[in-house]
Amino acid sequence: MNIRKTCRIALLLIGFVASPALAEYVSEIEVRGNLNVPLRQVMNKISISPGDEFSSEAAGADIVSILELDSFEDVAISLEAAEGEGVKVVYTLQEKPILASIVFKGNSDVKSRALSRQLEFKAGSFYDSFLVRSGLRAIERYYRDEGYADVRVENYIDEAEAEGFTVTYFIEEGIKQEIEKIVILGILKERPRPIHRLLEIKEGSVFHQGKLEESLENILTHYRNKGYVGAELGHPLITFTPDRSGIHITIKIDEGEKYHIGKVTFTGNVEVPEDFLSSLAFSVEGEVYSDDIIESVIATVHEEYGSRGHIRMGADPSFSYNQESKTVDLNLRIEEGPKVYIRNIFLDGNTLTKDYVIRREIDIEEGEPFDLRKVRDSQSRIYRTGFFSNVRIDMLPAGAEDRTDLVFLLDEQKTGMASLGAGYSSEDKLLGTVRISQENFLGRGQQLSAMWEFGSRKQNYRIDFYEPWLRNTPTPFRFTLYNTMRQRYYGWDNLSASYRETRSGGRLSLGRHFTRNFTGQLRYSLENVRQHDVDTVIADKVPEDRNTTSSITPSLIFDTRDLPFDPSTGYILSISNQLAGGILGGDQSFSKLEGVATYFQPIVWKFVGVLNLNVGSIFTFGQTDRAPIYERFT
């Protein structure tokens, strides 16, 4: 607020205090002078209401509130006689001028639209001299980032327009300058090529001061992580070609000597055992000095203390440099602070997902000491459900130094999907797909889906229901119904002869999560398989037949994938044994042992490499002499 406005408020308040009429009650409120600002917007800032006793403090607060709208140059309050009893409070406003237009002159290389995007105001808004000056600096920054280091910008305000003020920016762009040459001097002990790769600026690109500073920081960080604790970079020398179109940059490095990590000691530790800290120290002593190693030591100590409830601990490092042995000794002075307990656990942001669906993934209880590892693990488990695009952690004061409230901040995402697609494969040829699914059915964490695949060689109908926590216990339950008709080809050329295979049935599975990664499962399947429309040339090898298979399949699964539905890292191992026939009934009796290993690894950008290995064997028994063709490994 400017001085004139402040003085005006003070004088008004003095006048109100001195006036004997201030004891009157307010009968009416009137606002004058708001030509462009809606009356409702002004009234929302006025605290005085009809029927109130007039208060100079309330009047002063109203003036401040109205000025905060940033739409008025001045606000005055006066009292007038009202009809009947009481007084009328009149708010007289003087609006700021309207900014009618914004004009750019002299910009031949850069379009006016690009310059307008650098401003924090638009034509039609109220004039603000501060924003106009800020816009001038923003335009200069934009030009310099585009390579115009010599740009000059001035502004002029035309107040003569009847519609409002006009702001004109006069621009002298100058010559666009590119980096012609970059020279780094002083590289004696490291290979030059890796150093040059650290540069954010390149020869042939436009000069950018921010990127130059990032480059210097990258080089210094590189040297310190290679043991050169005394490495220094001089101020870069920047020169121009005679026509100022080209820039030469010279960077000078003083590498210094390479140091190793000497003795690592800890003081002030009581909660964390000495053995743990000694082991941590031993793992880094003798290594080439690196800022990254030191930061990892401090982070490990923080995590260990955080997992023991000391989330407010402090670790202050101090260094001793031995020039003779070229070593750096580290002492980490620890201030453990109090052990902090969790008072309440709050969930924020789950509008659809039920609280119990989230809380069953949280591995820490209210009243327990804060455990950083458990909290992070819980955060990961909530994210792995696939119901949230982001899961963040916050802590709120709980009224005592040794208490905190834990908050999981959740960004819910859409989990329902309806899709129509098409694909092509050498086996099924052109195949269309219609799929409807809900991965978080009614917010209960259940999955429900229906799929139809259709094509000349394949027809498939499938309904699937999955409950990851049956009766709110770590017991996954799945129920599936399906009917699949497929044209199969027999022979190495995959074209010589064919038959149709129709499989229909259902599966019922029940499992148990023993740990976060380790699951046991038992599945029962009842399936009817019919082979028909067999070409005569293969009738002796693939007879037309109909069989029913009743089986149970126990399996063990170890899963470390980051996201089950869209993994990018980790692996999944499974071993299963399908037992069919015997006391289970059906027409086929066999034992099918199978092991599957799948590994996921990021490659580049968003591409993920997948390595899959399947091994298996099948044995028949009872009246089944040979495994049916549809159960064999191919």
So where are the chain's domains?
Answer: 3-95, 99-172, 178-254, 260-335, 341-412, 491-504+515-527+537-631
What's the sign of the alpha-carbon dihedral 292, 295, 299, 300?
positive
pLDDT at 355: 96
| Residue 188 CB burial class (10 angstroms; 0-12, 13-18, ≥19) | exposed
Q: Are strands 477-490 and 178-185 parallel, antiparallel or unpaired?
A: unpaired
d(CA 98, CA 72) in angstroms, rounded, equals 11
- pLDDT of 8 > 60? The answer is no
- In this prediction, residues 558-579 reach a mean pLDDT of 92
Q: Is the pLDDT of residue 236 over 70?
A: yes
Average pLDDT over residues 495-506: 87
Q: Out of 3.40.47.10, 3.10.20.310, 3.40.50.1820, 1.10.10.410, select the CATH number for domain 341-412.
A: 3.10.20.310
Q: How do strand 237-240 and strand 246-254 relate by DSSP bridges?
A: antiparallel
Specify the CATH architecture of the domain 260-335: Roll (3.10)
- CA 572 to chain CA centroid, Å, is 25
Query: What pLDDT sits at residue 537?
Result: 84
Burial (CB count within 10 angstroms: exposed 0-12, middle 13-18, buried 19+), residue 230: middle
pLDDT at 162: 57
pLDDT tens for 305-360 read: 999 999 999 999 999 999 999 999 999 999 999 999 999 999 999 999 999 999 99
- CATH top-level class for 99-172? alpha beta
pLDDT at 7 over 50: no
How many other CB atoms sit within 10 Å of the CB of residue 212? 19
Residue reference for tokens 């695009």:
389
Q: Is the pLDDT of residue 16 over 90?
A: no
- Rounded Cα distance between 533 and 498, Å, is 8
pLDDT of residue 38: 86
Q: How many CB atoms lie within 10 A of CB 90?
A: 16
pLDDT at 492: 54
Write down the pLDDT at residue 6. 41
**Spatial CB neighbours of 298, under 8 Å, sequence gap ≥ 6:** 315, 317, 332
User: What mean pLDDT do residues 96-124 have?
Assistant: 91
- Across the chain, mean pLDDT equals 90
Averaged over 447-469, what is the pLDDT? 95
User: Residues 283-294: pLDDT tens digits?
Assistant: 999 999 999 999
Decide: 156 and 170 in contact? Cβ < 8 Å: yes
Q: Identify the band that residue 497 occupies on the pLDDT scale cut at 50, 70 and 90.
A: confident
pLDDT of residue 496: 66
Helix (H) or strand (E) holding 180: strand 178-185
Burial of 619: CB neighbours in 10 Å, binned 0-12, 13-18, 19+: exposed
Which residue did the predictor score with more confidence, 217 or 634? 217
Does the pLDDT value for residue 11 go beyond 80?
A: no
Where does 178-254 sit in CATH, by number? 3.10.20.310
Q: Is there a common fold for 3-95 and 260-335?
A: yes
What's the whole-number mean pLDDT along residues 140-144? 91
The pLDDT value recorded for residue 495 is: 55
Are β-strands 446-455 and 458-467 bridged in parallel, bridged antiparallel, or unpaired? antiparallel
CATH number for domain 3-95, candidates 3.50.50.60, 3.10.20.310, 2.60.120.10, 3.30.565.10: 3.10.20.310
Mean pLDDT of 366-395: 95
Residue 125: half-sphere exposure toward Cβ, Cα within 13 Å? 14
What is the mean predicted confidence (pLDDT) over 62-87? Answer: 86
pTM of the model: 0.70
pLDDT band at 23, cuts 50/70/90? Answer: low
Residue 493 — very low, low, confident or very high, per pLDDT cuts 50/70/90? low
Q: What is the pLDDT of residues 613-630, one digit of tens each?
A: 999 999 999 988 888 888
Q: What tens digit of pLDDT does each residue of 126-136 get?
A: 888 889 999 99
